[in-house]
Chain A
Amino acid sequence: MSDALSNQLLVVTVLAYLAAMIAYAAEFAFGNRGAVARAATRSRERELVGAGGPVLPDTPVVIESAPSGGRAALFGRFAVALTVVGYAAHLGTIVTRGLAANRVPWGNMYEFVLAVCFVGATAWLVLLARRPMVRPLGMFVTLALIVMLFVDAVRLYTAAGPLMPALNSYWLKIHVTAAVTASGVLLVGFVAAALTLIRMGYDDGKRWFPCSLGNRLPAAATLERLTFRVHAFAFPIWTFAIICGAIWAREAWTQYWSWDPKETWSFISWVIYAGYLHARATPSVKKTVATWIAVLGWATMMINLFAINLVVTGMHSYAGVK
């Protein structure tokens, strides 16, 4: 089996996400403001004033149903359907790739990015199922997916082939799966963090792009909490991925940690995300600052994925991109 089918499915995937993005954008543009901003009115912030007592979390924003009614909602539902179509094609791309190569389909950088985007799409759909309210944000999620997949297909494509001996280990399945999962969830975390900052900027009276999009976004507190929860979910997975990598490194490269460039940058990302979680838990640090740290964390993930794979050579140089 060749990888032609997989490549065709990737085209279908990107086109479906593109169509979905347009539909999400239509909902975002035509939607009545109330549907999206309803969260803002529901979100109450209360603080317990006491002797050094903890700052109370905002009362949860309970979202029972999707924004309803009208042309906008129709676009929204259409967008979700297109996302699901893209998602199915995305799954097909990965599965047929695995069949073509006759191994787990994350053995080089092209396949890694493909899988990270798949996890990102999964995280988005799970979020959508649990909080239909966030639907219009799909525009930003699909945008991120399209950009990543486009770069992947155009710049990183590698024909399906066997694994090199160093990668031929069951740790490939564990370590890389964990890294892919964490990266995919962190991608959604980044989108949430970016939207939080846009909304916070809007609330501060900034009206230029992209803060001008803020009036159609959920309340800053809701987005900020979402950002935290996504990161709190992803951070232990990322930690697990690094630990598994260390165990594998001990089997393959003689020692559990050797400050290989990719190791170094995964450490940097870990430290930055740890900094985010600490900053957010510290009352004296502003939420804006904490959220910026999360964005910085994603920047280090991107540097690790692109700059380190393609420019710097190290022991992780399995990208296979010529």
Chain B
Amino acid sequence: MSTVEAPPADRVDSGAPLPRGHGLGPWLVALARRAWRQLTSMRTALVLLFLLAVAAIPGSLLPQRNTKIEDVNQYLRTHGELGRTLDRFYLFDVFSSPWFSAIYLLLFVSLVGCLVPRLRDHVRALLRQPPDGPSRLDRMPAYVGGTGGDPEQFAALLRKRRFRVAVRGTTVSAEKGYLKESGNLLFHFALLAMLIGVAISSWYGWHGSRNIVAGRDGEICNTVPQYDDYGLGARVGPGDLPPFCVRLDRFEATYAPNGQPTAFRAHVHYSQGSSGTESPAEVQVNHPLRISGAGVYLLGHGYAPVIRYTDRFGKSQTSVQPFLNNDENLTGTGAAAFPDANIDPATGKQDPNDQIGFQGVYLPTMSSTDMTRGASLHPEERNPRLLLVAYKGNLGMDAGIPRSVYTLDESRIASGRLAKVAESKALRPGESLTLPDGSKVEFVGTRAFVTVTVRHDPGEMIVLGAAVFLLAGLLLSLWGKRRRIWLRVNGDRVDVGGLPRTDYPGFAAEFDEIVQAARKEGILR
């Protein structure tokens, strides 16, 4: 698989006929050799290249687990059997599917099969002298005949033009433009290096995501249990994550008058290792924070309402949970759970059906004219309101099953184990709602939260280096020009012939120029 001239493999496309009657061994060898030739032929490489392009299409049309796992689950819920069938064929994991891998691995095997012989040939060509010319130079696409001619002088002329020159008796052979094939090989080897970099990324890389609420109590540390969502490479264990912690002090967002955001800034403190010394830093979109070989990226933000619940025994607890954004105006939905509410101070016991939870919608800017509109009008807190629905019953949080902190258990609401006991009007900060049992919930205010992803990718520099070489190789191979020039003295007669070995429209002009220079120096008359 390469861009110039006919690769050797192309010429033996059909392969030798399979021998018969010589036993299984030679037959298998012949079969393998034939399969190898087929695989390394340009035709196969082109077919694989197109298969690769076609195979990538479903990955762009269907949601993929690696980027939009929520959309995949949604698709599976709504499409039933179709979804399950698609899933069976890895259509939600296209780029890690066996069939996609098979295509690119075959392509790379084909590439290696073609590159190795070409590299060998090219090294040979670089080591040996330019080959002797054909017997009839006048058959060459560029030709000039004349008299005179000193081979050594002509050789010097060509050497000055950076040709590689060999003088054999009365014949001068010269060649130039080896960089074209070098570039071609560089391009293809860079592709292999890139594949290695990608493999290292997927083996040794890791990432985790988490919403961090502003404040000391919101600090997160780089350990697997602290992440809402994480991925470890095949060769990475939970203990391999470098220890560091990040805390959000303050989050700033600026907006254009139409509500479009113009800048996000997260002011954080971080500490590395076990030293505990904290350093301040600022994280912005496009400006991640680099700690211990990992990047901390700011990917989203929103509001976490502070909800204080005072139970009927007068004991207060506070919940600060991020409300996940529904839209770009930061309408948020979330929950506040108080599993330890209503513990009787006299006995220290709790009726498990006396737990309290709230589901809510937060609007940073509620419409002041249309109170029924359940969506925020602006991402800034211009008219903040919180709507809460209170549920009483067993929250089901004692079972030890990890549960989402962003919602109450819907199945318990549906089955009645959590009963709706009250619904608030739109609360302003500082306002409260009294529940039928006399307990009280107060909307204290909000704190900002940011969504961060922490990622370590050890292969990225290999990929970047490979990409640079790939581009350099590409330029050389596309714009390089390989050409040969010969001069032969035959008694009184001198023949000069030229052969562009690649697509090179300017060759005639270059040849003419060399001939003119030779005439000027009296080499050719």
Give A residues with C-beta under 8 Å from B. 46, 48, 52, 54, 56-57, 59-60, 161-166, 168-169, 171, 225, 228, 232, 235-236, 239-240, 243, 246-248, 250-261, 264-265, 267-268, 271-272, 274-275, 277-279, 281-285, 300, 308, 312, 314-315
User: Are the C-beta atoms of A258 and B471 separated by less than 8 Å?
Assistant: no
Q: Is the CB of A161 within 8 A of B56?
A: no
Q: Is B503 touching A57 in the complex (CB atoms < 8 A)?
A: yes
Whether, in the assembled complex, B226 has its beta carbon less than 8 Å from a beta carbon of chain A, the answer is: no
Query: Is A255 a contact of B455 with CB atoms below 8 Å?
Result: yes
Question: Quick check: which of B367-375, B423-431, B474-482 contacts chain A, the rest being far away?
Answer: B474-482
Residues of the B chain whose Cβ atoms lie less than 8 Å from the Cβ of A252: 285-286, 297
Query: Could you show 10 A-B contacts with beta carbons less than 8 Å apart?
Result: A164-B261, A164-B262, A239-B471, A255-B207, A259-B94, A261-B60, A267-B53, A272-B53, A277-B3, A278-B49
Taking A255-B207, A259-B95, A284-B13 as given, write out 15 further A-B residue pairs in contact, using a Cβ cutoff of 8 Å, ordered by the A residue number.
Answer: A57-B504, A161-B258, A164-B260, A165-B264, A236-B475, A239-B470, A239-B474, A250-B457, A253-B297, A265-B60, A268-B57, A274-B49, A277-B478, A282-B6, A284-B6
Chain B residue total in the interface (Cβ 8 A): 68
Whole-angstrom distance between the alpha carbons of A272 and B51 in the complex?
Answer: 10
Q: A254-B295, A281-B3 given as contacts; is B471 within 8 A of A161 (CB)?
A: no
- CB-CB < 8 A to B148: which residues of A? none
What distance in Å separates the Cβ of B402 from its nearest Cβ neighbour in chain A?
Answer: 24
Rounded to whole angstroms, the CA-CA distance of A268 and B61 in the bound complex is 13
In contact, B478 and A235 (Cβ under 8 angstroms): yes
Query: For A260, what are the chain B residues with a Cβ–Cβ distance below 8 Å?
Result: 67
B319 within 8 A of A: no
Please, how many angstroms separate the alpha-carbon atoms of A239 and B262 in the complex? 30
Interface residue B272 (Cβ < 8 Å from any Cβ of A): no
User: Which chain A residues lie closer than 8 Å to B61 at the CB level?
Assistant: 261, 312
The answer to whether A258 and B286 touch across the interface, beta carbons within 8 angstroms, is no
CA distance A211 to B508 in the complex (A): 33
Contact of B262 among A165, A169, A300 (CB under 8 A): A165
Chain B residues with CB below 8 A from A264, complex form: 56-57, 59-60
Contact A275 B6, CB 8 Å, known A54-B501, A312-B61: no
Residues of A contacting B295 with CB < 8 Å?
Answer: 250, 254
Q: How far is the CA of A275 from the CA of B263 in the complex (A)?
A: 42
If A165-B285, A264-B59 touch, whether A254 touches B297 (CB-CB below 8 Å) is: yes
| A48 pairs with B141, CB closer than 8 A | yes
B506 contacts A by Cβ under 8 Å = yes
- Indicate whether B171 reaches chain A with its CB closer than 8 angstroms: no
Chain B interface main SS type: mixed
Q: Does B10 contact A (CB under 8 A)?
A: yes
CB closest chain-B residue, reference A277: B3
Chain A residues with Cβ under 8 A from B455's Cβ?
A: 254-255
List 3 tightest A-B contacts by C-beta distance, closest first.
A60-B505, A261-B60, A264-B60
In the bound assembly, the distance between CA atoms of A250 and B141 in angstroms comes to 50
Given contacts A239-B471, A254-B455, contact A165 B284 (CB under 8 A): yes
| B256 and A161 contacting across the interface, CB-CB below 8 Å | yes
| The residue from A161, A239, A285 contacting B260, defined by CB atoms under 8 A apart | A161
Q: Say yes or no for B357: interface residue by CB 8 A criterion.
A: no
B290-330 to A contact mask, C-beta < 8 Å, 1/0: 00000101010000000000000000000000000000000
**Is B524 interfacial (CB 8 A cutoff)?**
no
Docked-complex contact A284 and B10, CB < 8 angstroms: yes
Contact code string B181-193 (vs A, CB < 8 Å = 1, else 0): 0000000000000
- Name the distance in Å between A223's Cβ and chain B's nearest Cβ: 14
Q: Given that A56-B141, A246-B467 are known contacts, is A278 also in contact with B285, CB under 8 Å in the complex?
A: no
Which residue of the partner chain, among B1, B46, B60, B284, contacts A312 with CB atoms under 8 Å? B60
A278 touches B207 (CB 8 A): no
> Are A232's CB and B479's CB within 8 A?
yes
Which of B42, B460, B474 interacts with A236 by CB under 8 Å? B474
How far, in angstroms, from A235 to B49 measured CA to CA in the complex?
A: 16
Bound: A232/B503 CA distance, A: 12
Taking CB atoms, residues of chain A closer than 8 Å to B503 are 57, 225, 228
A89 to B382, CA, bound (A): 43
Chain B residue numbers with a CB within 8 Å of A56 are: 141, 499-500
User: Is B52 located at the chain interface by the 8 A CB criterion?
Assistant: yes
Chain A positions within 8 Å of B67 at CB level:
258-260, 315
How far, in angstroms, from A57 to B295 measured CA to CA in the complex? 51
User: Distance in Å from the Cβ of A219 to the closest Cβ of chain B?
Assistant: 14
- Whole-angstrom distance between the alpha carbons of A228 and B50 in the complex? 19
- Distance in angstroms between the alpha carbons of A164 and B379 in the assembled complex: 14
- B43 on interface, CB distance cutoff 8 Å: yes
| A282–B42 CB distance below 8 A | yes
User: How far is the CB of A281 from the nearest CB of chain B, in Å?
Assistant: 5
**Interchain CA distance A250-B295 in the complex, whole Å:** 9
**Does B287 have its Cβ within 8 Å of any Cβ on chain A?**
yes
A166: chain B residues at CB < 8 Å are: 285-286
Let me know if B463 is at the binding interface, CB within 8 A.
yes
A278 and B1: CB pair below 8 A?
yes
Cα distance, A171 to B53, chains bound together (Å): 27
**A29 CB, min distance to chain B CBs, angstroms:** 30
A294 to chain B, nearest CB (A): 14
Is A278's CB under 8 angstroms from B46's CB?
yes
Complex contact A162–B260 (CB within 8 A): yes
Provide the residues of chain A in CB contact with B505, threshold 8 Å.
Answer: 57, 60, 225
